[in-house]
Amino acid sequence: MTTPSTLREPEGIHNFREVGPYRLSGGGAIRGERIYRSGALEQMTAVDAAWLAEELGLRTVLDLRHGDEIALRHGPHPLEDRVFLNSIFPDHVRQEDLIAELNGLYGAGISPGRYMHYLEIGGDKLARAFELFAEEENYPFLVHCTAGKDRTGVLIGMIMDVLGASPEDIAHEYGLSDLSIDRLLAYLRSSGRDLQGTDEEIRARLATPPEKMAGFIELLHEKYGSSEAFFLSQGVSAEKIERVRGLLTARA
């Protein structure tokens, strides 16, 4: 599955796509025109903003970035009034220090264990983000971080798991971010990021092999039983979980 052909590729937004329509184990499929995902938004054009606001009708922009990343922006974007800030990483610790800690524990590249660590340091924030999807007035959503692949990928993967998507489809959805590596690199360089290593090493760090997300889902199930069980352990009510399922499931 690729980005649906009915969607244009925004000029100033990398890694943009709709989530779905994946089949679900309980019947039906992920409902279309409900959740979109992307990387950072501050380079969106006026045409992009009008399309997102007027044609897609976005109501909520869920920004998962750390405060240090927000500070790097060159001003707000045109849809700032729809933004709900919910950093997965604790804002009282510098982003640089968090990354250094993760790299020390898991290496510089992505890994299932690294993603599991997100649940340890930001489980409460993931749960609060999930709860937003239980309110119909918040739809449609655009979920993003800087690259739109790691923090965004973990949250989207867990939502898909709750809905009943197969591990293969969750991994496939995550892997689609590989199609945007060139645009992600251009964004990072234009925003002044200091990218360490050769071009090959940088691309390897930015890649999203489906097996990495599959491994994360496997570890999550081993430790908690399911994404639903994880959210319940973080105080999300069973009623809200069922509301999310109802709002995001299209019945045949």
- pLDDT tens digits for 116-152? 999 999 999 999 999 999 999 999 999 999 999 999 9
Say how many CA atoms lie within 13 Å of 147 toward its Cβ.
24
Task: Compute the average pLDDT of residues 37-57.
Answer: 96
Helix, coil or strand: residue 213: helix
Asked whether 34 and 140 are in contact (CB, 8 A), the reply is: yes
Say how many CA atoms lie within 13 Å of 153 toward its Cβ.
34
For residues 204 and 141, give the distance between their C-alpha atoms in angstroms, rounded to a whole number: 29
For residues 221 and 123, give the distance between their C-alpha atoms in angstroms, rounded to a whole number: 15
Least confident of 66-75, 126-135, 205-214, 220-229: 66-75
State the pLDDT at residue 5.
39
What one-letter code names the amino acid at 203?
R
**pLDDT (tens digit per residue) in 188-217:** 888 877 787 788 888 988 999 999 999 999
Residue 6 pLDDT class (50, 70, 90 cuts): low
In angstroms, the Cα distances linking 141 to 17, 29, 103 are: 12, 17, 31
What one-letter code names the amino acid at 89?
F
Residue that the structure tokens 């969106």 belong to: 44
* pTM exceeds 0.85 for this model: yes
For residues 128 and 124, give the distance between their C-alpha atoms in angstroms, rounded to a whole number: 6
Q: Tabulate helix, strand, coil % of the chain (nearest 5).
A: 50, 10, 40
Give the pair of three-digit tokens for residue 92.
Answer: 């009282």
The closest alpha carbon to 231, from 118, 122, 127, belongs to 127
Is residue 80 over pLDDT 80?
yes
DSSP string, 82-134: GEEE--SS-TTS-HHHHHHHHHHHH-SS--HHHHHHHHHHHHHHHHHHHHHTT
Asked whether 47 and 11 are in contact (CB, 8 A), the reply is: yes
For residues 5 and 102, give the distance between their C-alpha atoms in angstroms, rounded to a whole number: 37
Task: Compute the average pLDDT of residues 42-70.
Answer: 96
What is the percent of the chain with per-residue pLDDT over 90, rounded to a whole number? 84
Q: First CA to last CA across the chain, in angstroms? A: 19
Asked whether 202 and 185 are in contact (CB, 8 A), the reply is: yes
